[in-house]
Chain A
Amino acid sequence: MVKTDFLIIGGGPAGLSAAIETGKRNIKTLVIDEGVELGGQLVKQTHKFFGHEGFYASVRGFEIAKKLVSQLNENVVIMKQTTVTGIYEDVITAYDREKDSVIEIEPKYILISVGASERFIPFENNHLPGVYGAGAVQTLMNQFRVLPGKRILMIGSGNIGLIVSYQLLQAGAQVKAIVEIADKVGGYQVHAAKVKRFGVPILLRHTIKKAIGEEKVEGAVIGQVDDRFNIIPGTEREFAVDVICVAVGLVPSVELAQMAGVKIEYIPELGGYVPYRDREMRTNIKNIFVAGDLAGIEEATTAMIEGRIAGLVVARELTGTDQPDLERMQQELIEFRSGPFSDKVRKGLERFFSQQIVSYSKDGQKDLGPTGKLRPIIECYENIPCNPCQTSCPSGAIDVPGNINSLPIVDYSKCTGCGICVMKCPGLAIFMVQENFQPGKDLVVLPYEFLPLPEKGQKVIALDRDGKDVAQAEVLKVIKSANKTNLIHIVVPAGLAQKVRSFRIPQKADSLVCRCEEITVEEIEKAIDEGYTDYEELKRYLRIGMGPCGGRTCRTITLGILSKKTGKSLKEISCGTFRPPSMPVKFDSIIKGEIEHEK
């Protein structure tokens, strides 16, 4: 039997924050976590966080996890790879996977901060390998450096869908489209802008109909929906993808809370079934607290604040001393939840206790500054709780008036053009421009988080906000940043300063093998190196020969490459199967034909 003052189930942002507070106050705290690394979902977040400095704004998620872990002291005992299996009247049991044994725990106070699980949606063949929750794709690529596939279809345009799409691009995958059933993007505009400027289309009023494939995902069919979210017949279209990433939301993991006797209510605004809790994160059971996504789906910053509140309340009760930080944390939470993106959460929480908000300014920057001066252009038009632009500016030129929910305003007379705000903005929403920087040329400075970095003097193709090519440009300067948001200065033809917001490095001349599906010699060679040494395998993996030409152009070239790379003669290699139709035929004419010929 393990005895402890405070048991925290779940070592994510909420649980760790609580443990920091109680550890600091000499309270014996035990943190039990299922995962292999502490930090919960923070460990796979490679983007910089919004919010303010007190809660690690502009720091990347996995670094926040490290910072939290480093603040735990010797009063905090950690058990990883351990699952709490049951909460009974007199004892709690946990299974230690490493030691393969079950332990019993008797705590005085409990915080349940186990987070949430991926929401699932029904569509045909959704059991197929290759259909992943968005969190799973992030875990694989950012925690374990494994890419589940090359061509991705994203379902859902909330912040998670947008962020994971951007991270997939960074890891070298292709995001074919983001599909959104609603008529507007669910997440922050700044996140949406990040993927749009690399040309990823966001298809509103669309949903997935089915996954294609026998053993694993080879494609997906999507369609446009009507007002009742049914697919409109005839609008279906197919994408060739190997991963369908489902980012349609999260469901609070209430099992343990319910087992412990906590009252559970259905509040859709908070993500579904959630435990009752009060302002102090206490449930209807005196010594049981909840915090983080389990208490209502939000984001990591509010989870950290909730965790600290729970930890402080437990500390107050165990030590019998008032905790002045408690009120400050509650105030922080009110401020964070004052913006429009928290409308839903506030409405849901109203069911438990009344909500307050602080007011903020909705007036953003109007003028684009003095033409010809090197200056920042802030493209951040939503009241998101965020202010690193203000706090990072060494000259005090940026103001987020009142509180963090207000829109940033630049005082161009104070700005020195240093570019720090561009590097710091977690939304990558700040750019710098200078018109007529040279005769006939404008200068644009872009935040850039991709590999390879371009080189000084390199010719690149400048892209607009939708990722469309607008002009040839030349790289003038590359400034590497410690926080990995590098600044690339590019020179564009005059008149484009307010248009260019991204660039791409032109591919070296490719030699195409398959003209229908645009597959190159290099791609085929790479696939063979990866172990695809049979024509049929290559066909399924690369979709070579699956275009309308039926392989007329590419089959012999592909077989030739196969022969050369594997050392087998063409005679030994199977040429694969041919399937009808040999040329595309309209469905319509097939049906019509039947009828007319019968006549």
Chain B
Amino acid sequence: MRRILAHPILDVEKPKVVKFFFEGKELEAFEGETIAAALVANGVDVFGRTEHSRPRGFYCAIGKCSSCLMIVDGVSNVRSCITLVKEGMQVKRQIGRGEITW
């Protein structure tokens, strides 16, 4: 677990738990957190791979660098760092540029 359970400045409330799927595996997240935060909390560091198969994590966490693109509910190129995790969401690693969906 990488959750901060006590903090000298911030209150640590107990938020509602939601379940989502990462690469088909069920994981727990907190309501109101981003996909990126939920994944890191679950010990997932590799968010995808580049076209040349390099593992890729996320970098800026505020939607500006596009390092965190993932496939969310079948849609490629979703910025996982500014997209909130939702109950039942299917999150997958994206490799390369991702598929086009309409």
List A residues at the B interface (Cβ < 8 Å): 34-36, 41, 46, 60, 62, 81, 83, 97, 117-118, 120, 127-133, 135-136, 139-149, 170-172, 214-216, 253, 449-451, 484, 530-531
Contacts and interface: CB of A to CB of B under 8 A. Distances in A.
30 contacts: A34-B82, A35-B62, A36-B82, A97-B82, A117-B62, A120-B59, A129-B46, A129-B47, A129-B56, A131-B59, A136-B60, A136-B62, A140-B61, A142-B10, A144-B34, A144-B37, A145-B3, A145-B12, A146-B2, A146-B3, A146-B4, A170-B7, A170-B8, A170-B9, A215-B45, A215-B55, A216-B55, A253-B64, A449-B9, A531-B43
Interface string B1-39: 111101111101000000000000000001011101100
Contacts of A216: 45-46, 55, 57
B56 A83 contact: no
B63 A451 contact: no
Contacts of A140: 36-37, 40, 61
B10 A118 contact: no
A293 B86 CA distance: 32
A146 B41 contact: yes
A127 B9 CA distance: 32
Dominant secondary structure of chain A at its interface with chain B: loop
Contacts of B81: 136, 139
B77 interface: no
B2 A118 contact: no
B64 A118 contact: yes
Given A135-B61, A136-B61, A146 B10 contact: no
Contacts, number: 124
B1 A129 contact: no
B68 to A, nearest CB: 9
B85 to A, nearest CB: 10
Given A118-B60, A130-B45, A216-B57, A145 B10 contact: yes
Contact of B64 (A81, A117, A127, A214): A117
A143 B83 CA distance: 14
A144 B33 contact: yes
A131 B57 contact: yes
Nearest to A530: B1
B58 A530 contact: no
A62 B7 CA distance: 14
Contacts of A143: 37
Nearest to A143: B37
A531 B25 CA distance: 15
A392 to B, nearest CB: 19
B84 interface: yes
Given A36-B32, A139-B61, A140-B37, A147 B4 contact: yes
B29 to A, nearest CB: 10
Contact of A451 (B8, B60, B82): B8
A129 B45 contact: yes
B97 interface: no
A454 to B, nearest CB: 12
B25 to A, nearest CB: 12
B23 to A, nearest CB: 14
Contacts of A149: 2
A30 B2 CA distance: 37
B60 A117 contact: yes
Contacts of B4: 141, 145-147, 171-172
A419 to B, nearest CB: 18
Max chain A Cβ within 10 angstroms of own Cβ: one of B4, B9, B36, B41:
B9
Contact of A81 (B6, B30, B60, B82): B82
